[in-house]
A and B are shown apart, each in its own frame.
Chain A
Amino acid sequence: QSVLTQPPSVSAAPGQKVTISCSGSSSNIGNNYVSWYQQLPGTAPKLLIFESNKRPSGIPDRFSGSKSGTSATLGITGLQTGDEADYYCGTWESSLSAWVFGGGTKLTVL
């Protein structure tokens, strides 16, 4: 059981928009930045969003992040088949002094 809760799967058509939620508590998302990672099949995770809403260099602006209270959201617009991957949220859990991840969300681009 993950400390952060994500939907197991989401799907949308190419060109459409999708959002992935990440729900936590005051001891993690509520008081710390959130990161989002993309993991394509058979590869290492890749940072998409850091500090809740910032994109690293090279990440297209189709990817966006937001945070409100104890929840965070990853948005992806203009979906492409190459976006099919597992997406994970992560943040620092202050009560455990540990980094925690959500269970992951599998994105299917129909």
Chain B
Amino acid sequence: EVRLFESGGGLVQPGGSLRLSCAASGFTFSSYGMSWVRQAPGKGLEWVSGSGNNIYYADSVKGRFTISRDNSKNTLYLQMNSLRAEDTAVYFCARGGGTNTMDVWGQGTTVTVSS
């Protein structure tokens, strides 16, 4: 069974940093692009970053967030720096990156940016 499990969320002060992880299982991780999508409380889905043949970022996080992966550990990461209140959201990782659809999603991890 294909599974994605996010971790690393929590409460952080504005200007702080956090690193999210997404552990993948049930498929050949290295063969797939991967993405991060977030959802602010009561709001819709917002794509954050994707890693396929290339790496892409939403303008709202460009220069602050970095997507990376360790294929030996079947894990996707999102390093988030200079966090702002508007970054508060549930962060989902999803299989599929770049122009490809996101077909499998994790359950999400919550990031709260507040003083």
Please give the residue numbers on chain A whose beta carbons come within 8 Å of chain B beta carbons, in ascending order: 2, 32-33, 35, 37, 39, 43-47, 50-51, 56, 86, 88, 90, 92, 96-104
Contacts and interface: CB of A to CB of B under 8 A. Distances in A.
B92 A2 contact: no
Given A44-B107, A98-B56, A98-B58, A35 B101 contact: yes
A2 B44 contact: yes
A102 B99 CA distance: 16
Contacts of B107: 43-44
A45 B50 contact: no
B35 interface: yes
24 contacts: A2-B44, A32-B99, A35-B102, A44-B107, A45-B105, A46-B105, A47-B101, A47-B102, A47-B103, A51-B101, A86-B44, A90-B45, A90-B102, A92-B99, A96-B59, A98-B56, A98-B58, A98-B59, A99-B50, A101-B44, A101-B47, A102-B44, A103-B44, A104-B44
A97 B56 contact: yes
Interface residues on B, range: 20 to 34
A99 B100 CA distance: 9
A104 B99 contact: no
A100 B108 CA distance: 19
A37 B45 contact: yes
Interface string B85-105: 000000010100011011111
Contacts of B94: 45
A97 B94 CA distance: 18
B46 interface: yes
A95 to B, nearest CB: 12
B45 A104 contact: yes
